[in-house]
C-alpha cells in the first residue's frame, strides 16, 4: 500500500467515524423544537469540540446556533454553508443511534437516524473544512459555517437569527441537506395558516339551540377544495397545492355542540409567489354566512427559491464536481420548503446540496453510502477553493 493510499484510507476512516459520532449523539425533534436541550447539546458538546480541535473558534448566537468564520472577512467573496443539528424523531426505526456499518447492493453504508437528511452533509462540510485548515489553504474571501438548532422546524427562525448575529450577508449559500449529491436549484415555499370557525355551544341533545362550528368548517373545506389558487403551473413543480393537515374542535366536552373549529392548512408556494398574496386570495374567495363567523391566523412562513443554472454559483459547482472527479452536477427541484428560500428572497444565490437520498427522509431504514460521503466532502472542498481560495 502506498503512502498516498494510506493517507486516503485514514481520511476515509476519519470521515466515517465523525459521521458515526454524530449519529450516536441523538438530537431528535421534540415539542421544544430549537430549544430542546439535546439538540443544543449536540452542537455544543459534539460539533463544537471538533471544530476547536481544528484550531477554529466557533461562536454562538442567542438561539444557540454555532457560527465559525474563516478567511479574510474584509475582501473577496463570501460563501456560507448552512448545516443542521435537529433530526426527525427515531420513531419506529430500530437501533437508530447505533451508526452501524452495513453492506448494501451499492456498497458500504452508515445506517442511522439523520444520515440521509442532515448529519452526513454536516460531517462532509466539517471534513472539507478540516482539509482546508490542515492544507493551510489561504482564503481571500470569507467562509462561514453555520450549524443551526433547526432541521425539522419548518421555519426560517434559525437562519434569520444567524444572519442578524453575523451582521453581514454571504454572496452564496449551500444548504447542507441530503439531495443524493445532486444540486437542488429550486424548492417550494410554504405558509401554514389556521381557519377558525366560530359558532355557538349547546347541549347535543338539543342541537338547534347551538351553531355547530363543525358544520361551518365542513363548508370551508368544500370551498377550499374547489378553489382555483390563481397561479399558473411551474415547469418543474406543476400546480401549487393547498392541503388541510390538522383539525381541532372546542370545547373538549362530551355531548356538546362545539362552538369553535380550527383547521390548519399547508399552502405550498411556487417560485415567484408572495406569501401574503397567497393568503389574501384565500381570504377573499372563502365566505361563511351568519350565524357562523370565520377568521384566519397566519403561522410559519418559508419562501420558495429558484436558481438559474447559468448563475455563478452553479458554474462554480460544475467546476467543483469536475475537480472532485465526479460527473457533471444534476440539477433537481425539491417539493420541500427549505432555508434556501430565505436567502433567495434577499437576492442571494442559494442551492441545496448534500449526501443522502430524499426518499429515505423520516423512513425506518435510513442509510448513506460511504462513497457519497467522500464525494460530497471533496465537492464542498473544491467549491470553497474555486469560490474564495487564492490561486
DSSP string across 322-377: HHTT-PPPPEEEEEEE-THHHHHTTT-EEEE--SS-GGGTT-SS-EEEHHHHHHHH
| Torsion angle of the four alpha carbons 38, 40, 45, 49, in this order, in degrees rounded to the nearest 10 | 150
**Average model confidence (pLDDT) for the chain?**
96
Closest CA to 245 of 267, 218, 273: 267
Q: Domain limits at 146?
A: 3-181+353-388
The reply to whether 173 and 204 lie within a common domain is no
The reply to whether 24 and 47 lie within a common domain is yes
In a domain, 232, yes or no: yes
Task: Decide which of 255, 282, 300 is a domain's last residue.
Answer: 300
At 94, the pLDDT band (50, 70, 90 cuts) reads: very high
Type and span of the H or E element at 96? none
In a domain, 8, yes or no: yes
CATH number for the domain harbouring residue 176:
3.40.630.10
The reply to whether 132 and 175 lie within a common domain is yes
Please report, rounded to a whole number, the percentage of residues in the chain having pLDDT higher than 70.
97
pLDDT tens across 12-31, in order?
Answer: 999 999 999 999 999 999 99
Task: Decide which of 259, 281, 300 is a domain's last residue.
Answer: 300
The reply to whether 66 and 159 lie within a common domain is yes
In a domain, 330, yes or no: no
Task: Decide which of 300, 316, 339 is a domain's last residue.
Answer: 300
Q: What is the mean pLDDT of residues 245-272?
A: 98
In a domain, 123, yes or no: yes
pLDDT tens across 54-89, in order?
Answer: 999 999 999 999 999 999 765 689 999 999 999 999
pLDDT tens across 300-347, in order?
Answer: 999 999 999 999 999 999 999 999 999 999 999 999 999 999 999 999
**Tell me, what's the pLDDT at 76?**
83
At 363, the pLDDT band (50, 70, 90 cuts) reads: very high
How many CB atoms lie under 10 A from the CB of residue 310? Answer: 7
Instruction: Answer whether residue 5 shows pLDDT above 90.
Output: no
The reply to whether 155 and 210 lie within a common domain is no
In a domain, 320, yes or no: no
Who's near 130: CB < 8 A, 6+ residues apart? 14, 54
At 1, the pLDDT band (50, 70, 90 cuts) reads: very low
Is the overall model pTM greater than 0.85, yes or no?
Answer: yes
The reply to whether 176 and 219 lie within a common domain is no
The reply to whether 151 and 194 lie within a common domain is no
Q: What's the domain count of the chain?
A: 2
In a domain, 238, yes or no: yes
The reply to whether 51 and 15 lie within a common domain is yes
The reply to whether 151 and 26 lie within a common domain is yes
The reply to whether 237 and 383 lie within a common domain is no
CATH number for the domain harbouring residue 224:
3.30.70.360
In a domain, 308, yes or no: no
Return d(Cα 328, Cα 379) in angstroms, integer. 11
pLDDT tens across 144-188, in order?
Answer: 999 999 999 999 999 999 999 999 999 999 999 999 999 999 999
In a domain, 327, yes or no: no
3-state secondary structure of 247: strand
The reply to whether 145 and 225 lie within a common domain is no
Return d(Cα 23, Cα 253) in angstroms, integer. 44
Instruction: Answer whether residue 194 shows pLDDT above 60.
Output: yes
The reply to whether 208 and 357 lie within a common domain is no
Who's near 378: CB < 8 A, 6+ residues apart? 128, 323, 324, 325, 326
Q: What is the mean pLDDT of residues 373-382?
A: 98
**Tell me, what's the pLDDT at 4?**
56
How many CB atoms lie under 10 A from the CB of residue 298? Answer: 12
Instruction: Answer whether residue 289 shows pLDDT above 70.
Output: yes
Amino acid at each position: 500500500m502506498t503512502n498516498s493510499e494510506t493517507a486516503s484510507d485514514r481520511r476515509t476512516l476519519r470521515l466515517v467515524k465523525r459521521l458515526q459520532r454524530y449519529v450516536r449523539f441523538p438530537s431528535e425533534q421534540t415539542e421544544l423544537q430549537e430549544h430542546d436541550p439535546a439538540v443544543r447539546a449536540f452542537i455544543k458538546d459534539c460539533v463544537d469540540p471538533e471544530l476547536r480541535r481544528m484550531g477554529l473558534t466557533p461562536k454562538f448566537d442567542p438561539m444557540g446556533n454555532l457560527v465559525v468564520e474563516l478567511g479574510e472577512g474584509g475582501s473577496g467573496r463570501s460563501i456560507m454553508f448552512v448545516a443542521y443539528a435537529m433530526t426527525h424523531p427515531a420513531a419506529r426505526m430500530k437501533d437508530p443511534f447505533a451508526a452501524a456499518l452495513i453492506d448494501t447492493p451499492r456498497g458500504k453504508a452508515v445506517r442511522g437516524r439523520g444520515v440521509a437528511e442532515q448529519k452526513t452533509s454536516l460531517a462532509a462540510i466539517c471534513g472539507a473544512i478540516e482539509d482546508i485548515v490542515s492544507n493551510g489553504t489561504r482564503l481571500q474571501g470569507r467562509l462561514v459555517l453555520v450549524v443551526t438548532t433547526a432541521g425539522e422546524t419548518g421555519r426560517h427562525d434559525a437562519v434569520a437569527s444567524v444572519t442578524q448575529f453575523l451582521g453581514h450577508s454571504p454572496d452564496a449559500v449551500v444548504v447542507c441537506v441530503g439531495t443524493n449529491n445532486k444540486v437542488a436549484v429550486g424548492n417550494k415555499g410554504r405558509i401554514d395558516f389556521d381557519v377558525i370557525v366560530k359558532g355557538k355551544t349547546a347541549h347535543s341533545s338539543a342541537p338547534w339551540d347551538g351553531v355547530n362550528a363543525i358544520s361551518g368548517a365542513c363548508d370551508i373545506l368544500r370551498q377550499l377544495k374547489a378553489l382555483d389558487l390563481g397561479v399558473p403551473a411551474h415547469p418543474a413543480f406543476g400546480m401549487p397545492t393547498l392541503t388541510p393537515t390538522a383539525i381541532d374542535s372546542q370545547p373538549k366536552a362530551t355531548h356538546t355542540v362545539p362552538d369553535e373549529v380550527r383547521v390548519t392548512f399547508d399552502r405550498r408556494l411556487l417560485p415567484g409567489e408572495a406569501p401574503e398574496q397567497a393568503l389574501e386570495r384565500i381570504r377573499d374567495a372563502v365566505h361563511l354566512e351568519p350565524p357562523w363567523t370565520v377568521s384566519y391566523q397566519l403561522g410559519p412562513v418559508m419562501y420558495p427559491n429558484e436558481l438559474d443554472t447559468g448563475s455563478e454559483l452553479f458554474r462554480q459547482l460544475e467546476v467543483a464536481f469536475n475537480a472532485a472527479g465526479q460527473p457533471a452536477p444534476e440539477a433537481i427541484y425539491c417539493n420541500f420548503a427549505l432555508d434556501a428560500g430565505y436567502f433567495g428572497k434577499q437576492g442571494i444565490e442559494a442551492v441545496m446540496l448534500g449526501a443522502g437520498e430524499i426518499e429515505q427522509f423520516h423512513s425506518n431504514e435510513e442509510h448513506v453510502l460511504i462513497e457519497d460521503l467522500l464525494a460530497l466532502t471533496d465537492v464542498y472542498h473544491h467549491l470553497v477553493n474555486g469560490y474564495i481560495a487564492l490561486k
